[in-house]
Structure 1
């Protein structure tokens, strides 16, 4: 499928859905739409992903194109009205529109009407299925080893780490699959349940259902973590995933030098050692999972500082760690498999 990715004003640092799709999805991205960087190319900003021109609006997206994908997931998941002209332009050209927002395109009368007129599909990947139920506590019985990425905060690299570990496991000859729990993972994998949109009673059950669906067909399941157990807004999602997954192992993800919760700066991050204790203690009632490895995002550091930060992080978690996009992943994978 040929897609254009909307990332107005956020590309690349605050458009993690766009970057995730560019790095991991099977889509052929023909353009990224960002009026702030129009005239440049994707790889001018993000190395190591598929390249495409950056344009100012959907009107500049070349044919053929099948869909517009909204590559931004702001806090709260709202729809920015400045995006409306691009969505309308896409629908007018007969393109589907894919979004991972809490604002559902299918609840917008203008979008629904134009989509029907032009035989387009509006895909709200953050709309959960209707047949969810509470957990039965059965995820731990699957044949696969279940590995869950957990974080010190939001946007520290849990999705990226999940994808890289699954890729590395497959390359090493293992049968491995990703369990997508957020909008970006769902867009990449083509299936999954958006856990942050699920009714609280059904959160653990939704994760359990995905693991039971895949758990006897693979050696390893890599579960995409969400949020952080100390996050003042999103801790409930984190806990639900942890208890629903009943993981065999945890991989702790952190961004180097981050010491405050992003977007909630009055709240400091606990020490790394405290996170290890918190996650292992929270897992203990349902599994004996421990933090067996770590992933450190060092993108804002020079090489010497990054390597020093990794040494400190490994010491704090008492396990091997790496930056999964910058350095070798073998030691971390060996600790898991």
Structure 2
């Protein structure tokens, strides 16, 4: 499918959905919409991924079967400045894929245009209605379950899970990625949007996916969400931790991050304190351990200082660590597999 990705004024730093789809999905991304960087190319900002032009709006897109909203703002709201692009896409007969908490299918104008032009509005964050509470059986699957947890949101948990799952597959290991957020679901084409599920059903929605895949694969790499100390998202983090009943954890951090993104009055404690926080919280349900670390070094330009930061992070945690996008993954994989 040919897809145009909307990332207005956020590409690439604050458009993690756009970056994830470009880097990992099977979509043929034909253009990125960003008014501030129109006229450029994707590879100017994301080397090593399939290239595409950056354009100012949907009217400048030559070929597309769908428009994908590539921004995941805090709160998941819809920016009215995007409306013209969505309308343009629907009038051209393009489907629209959205991971927002604002459901496009419930917007009367978009719903009418979609019906008139035989288009699909896929609200990725709309959960199924038959989800239920956990039965406490995630630990009974045959697969080893590996969960990424974080010191904050937006530190790369999805990316780490995908990179490690694919690196394991390249070794001939039977591994799968378990998507719990909108970007992962877009990439894989299935999953439960945990941050939109009724609170009582959060652990159950994760457990359902573990049980579905746990006897088909040897390893499951579960995409984590948020952080256990987050003033807004900690409940989602805890639900995934208890629902997945992981055997091992990978602690993810962004180099240089000192406070919670969007909640800068809340400082990030020393990274090593997270080991006890996560292991102690998990233990009454299912004992686990932080077996590896992943450091997002995107903001460090040179490889030398980035490697030094990774080494310091590994020393602080007392476990192997890497930046799996930038550096080798073998030592971390050995610790996990």
TM-score (norm 2): 0.99
1:303 to partner: Cα distance: 2.3
Cα distance in 1 for residues equivalent to 2:299 and 2:87: 37
**Following TM superposition, by how much is the alpha carbon of 1:257 offset from its aligned partner in structure 2, in angstroms?**
1.1
Partner of 1:23: 23
CA distance in 1, matches of 2:136, 2:317: 28
Deviation at 1:127, TM superposition (A): 0.3
Q: Give the equivalent residue in structure 2 for 1:11.
A: 11
Deviations 1:80-107 (A, max 9, x none): 0000000000000000000000000011
Specify the alignment match of 1:316 in structure 2: 316
Partner of 2:142: 143
- Distance in 1 of aligned mates of 2:306 and 2:37: 28
- Which is worse superposed, 293-302 or 226-235? 293-302
Unaligned runs of 5+ in 1: none
- Equivalent residues in 2 for 1:1-337 (5 A)? 1-63=1-63, 65-301=64-300, 302-337=302-337
Runs of 4+ with deviation above 6 angstroms: none
CA shift, 1:305, in A, is 2.0
Q: Measure, in 1, the Cα distance between the counterparts of 2:169 and 2:295.
A: 22
**Post-superposition shift, 1:272?**
1.0
SS at 2:264 equivalent = strand
Deviations, residues 136-178 of structure 1 (Å, cap 9, x unaligned): 0000000000000000000001010000001001001011111
Alpha-carbon shift at residue 323 of structure 1 (Å) = 0.6
What TM-score, normalized to structure 1?
0.99
In structure 1, the residue corresponding to 2:35 is in which secondary structure?
coil
Indicate the larger mover: 246-255 or 292-301. 292-301
Looking at structure 2, the residues matched to 168 and 252 of structure 1 have their Cα atoms a distance apart, in angstroms, of: 18
For the residue of structure 2 that corresponds to 1:106, the secondary structure is: helix
In structure 1, distance between residues paired with 2:81 and 2:306: 38
| Structure-2 separation of matches of 1:308 and 1:30 | 37
Q: Spell out, residue by residue over 1:99-137, the C-alpha distance to the aligned partner (whole angstroms, 9 max, x if none).
A: 000000011000000000000000000000100111000
* Structure-2 separation of matches of 1:137 and 1:186: 24
Q: CA deviation at 1:47?
A: 1.1
When the two chains are superposed, the root-mean-square deviation of aligned CA atoms in Å is 0.7
Total equivalences in the alignment: 336
Q: CA deviation at 1:309?
A: 1.4
**Structure 2 stretches of 5 or more lacking a match?**
none
Q: Which moved more, 1:307-316 or 1:119-128?
A: 307-316
Q: Secondary structure at the match of 1:86?
A: helix
